[in-house]
Homo-oligomer: A and B are copies of this chain.
Amino acid sequence: MQAKAVRPMERKTGIALWRQVADRIRQGIGAGDYEGDGRLPPETVLAERFGINRHTVRSAIAALVQEGVLRAEQGRGTFIQRRRRFTYPISARTRFSEGLRDQARDRRGHLLAHAREEADQRIADALGIAPGSPVIRLETLSEADGRPVSRATSWFEAERFSGIADAFAASGSVTLALRDHGVDDYFRKSTVVSARHAEGADLADLKLAPGAIVLVAVALNVDTQGRPVQFSETRFAADRVELSVIG
């Protein structure tokens, strides 16, 4: 009995063993478990350590290779495909691209879709307008160094920000798009953070594996007069991002 003592896997939980193992390996990487040479123990060792069959370990590794977390080389071993975790600052001056300025060479915002619609109760409350008032909804995707980082849904008052979709499409930046509409500066008034499983289009857009987690930030930005300009729900890929609150 040489294998390290590890918590045994849970069975019959509705989550396949290989997926549980994949999640634990991914977490271990995040916790710096294989820091030295970035090399995973051999499959046989992992199998013994987790108390499962080598095939099951291989399924887990295959999923992580698919995700781009690991790289397997026949005869040599399995290695961590090192990627940094982006730290996204949340403060009064929160802006996506500026926040990641020092962390990624290439930051990009894409407009996936946009629509003009009527504000429901929640949106109306946030923007300080009457329910049913026209709003513009933007569906956007943000990438850093070619990796999708977040998917956001934003609402703007339609009257004041009629051309916001075109402006965002052109610049890829909310800050610049707002500037086109006379908002030179804005502030983050509130941010509510929660977490849940990724679902629907987010899975594909963020290139996540089923079961992956998203950090959800529901935020309100206001202009210098305190008037709401943007209400948004941003889903961050939890395994690629952490949120830093400066206080």
Contact = CB atoms under 8 A, between A and B. Distances in A.
A131 to B, nearest CB: 15
For chain A, give the interface size range.
Answer: 35 or more
Interface in A32-65: 59, 63
Given A24-B199, A210-B14, A211-B211, A193 B242 contact: yes
Interface string A167-203: 0000000000000000000011111111111011000
Nearest to A32: B122
Interface string A219-247: 00000000000000000001101111111
Nearest to A13: B210
A5 interface: no
A213 interface: yes
Contacts of A246: 190
A105 interface: no
Interface stretch (A15-23, A76-84, A96-104): A15-23
B15 A19 contact: yes
A211 to B, nearest CB: 5
B190 A244 contact: yes
Given A15-B15, A197-B27, A197-B213, A192 B238 contact: no
Contact of A194 (B187, B188, B189, B242): B242
Interface of A: 7, 10, 13-16, 18-20, 22-24, 27, 30, 59, 63, 87, 90-92, 94, 187-197, 199-200, 209-211, 213-215, 238-239, 241-247
